[in-house]
Structure 1
Amino acid sequence: MFRYTRFEKARIIGARALQIALGAPVLVDVPEGSTPLQAAIIEFEKGIIPITVIRPS
């Protein structure tokens, strides 16, 4: 998996959690009663968040 900085990781997880909170489908099976943040963290750890990072060169 690509290595992200802590700032990129926070931005990716936060953006995905917001998407989930606003009704986007969760791409993994999460335990009952999980928060959008927990679901986003699980997705990030499995490497399936549909968000890309473009770094300036």
Structure 2
Amino acid sequence: YIPEALEAGWNGEDVGPEDAAMAAPSYFNNRKLSIFGGSNEIQKNIISKAILGL
């Protein structure tokens, strides 16, 4: 993924199809959100165990 490839005037070589360049930012953002969601649940479990004394 090369973010500069989306800018006007990019003279570098294309890595893949244009559709892939447009889809990559959404894909990486969704991966980040899924990791964030999981860590949020882990934090809630740790806090609830500390409060309940488990």
TM range (shorter): 0.3 to 0.5
TM-score by length of 2: 0.35
* TM-score calculated relative to the size of structure 1: 0.34
Relative contact order (C-alpha < 8 Å, sep 6+): which is higher?
Answer: 1
- Of structures 1 and 2, the larger Rg is shown by 2
